[in-house]
Amino acid sequence: MFKIIKKTVATSALAAAVMTTGIAIAPQAMANGYGYACTVNPKSSVRIRVNAGQNYRVIAGIPNGRGVRILNSKIGTDGGLWYFVQYGKYRGWSHSAYIC
């Protein structure tokens, strides 16, 4: 009986560790990949900023549905996940919620 409980606890701990690690690693998996601008309003665009945070200057906009190259990612000053993207000649930071 003790061995069964011990195995169950070990299995549960491993599953929790994998789930926690998976969440932490998943955003990094998008880095060095491709995505596209996705907004609720099809006529709007996703902002590219000079740094990762809502208070930084906007340098360009990505029209909804247009492809981008994802070069890197980090947590911004607002606590959100931001992607360093390239859209044409522009490179900058866009919030991950708007890159699909």
Asked whether residue 41 falls in the same domain as residue 8, the answer is: no
**Within 13 Å, how many C-alpha atoms sit on residue 68's CB side?**
34
Residue with the larger pLDDT of the pair 21 and 90:
90
Is residue 83 a contact partner of residue 94, using CB atoms and an 8 Å limit? yes
Q: Coil, helix or strand for 16?
A: helix
Q: Give me the domain span that covers residue 24.
A: 1-30
Q: What's the confidence (pLDDT) of residue 9?
A: 39
Compute φ and ψ for 21, nearest 5 degrees.
-65, -40
**Is the pLDDT score of 26 beyond 80?**
no
Residue 53 CA to residue 17 CA, distance in Å, equals 30
Residue with the larger pLDDT of the pair 8 and 62:
62
Question: Which of 41-45, 54-58, 85-89 has the least mean pLDDT?
Answer: 41-45
Asked whether residue 11 falls in the same domain as residue 39, the answer is: no
Interval 76-86 mean pLDDT: 97
Compute φ and ψ for 28, nearest 5 degrees.
-70, -25
Asked whether residue 18 falls in the same domain as residue 56, the answer is: no
Q: What's the confidence (pLDDT) of residue 23?
A: 34
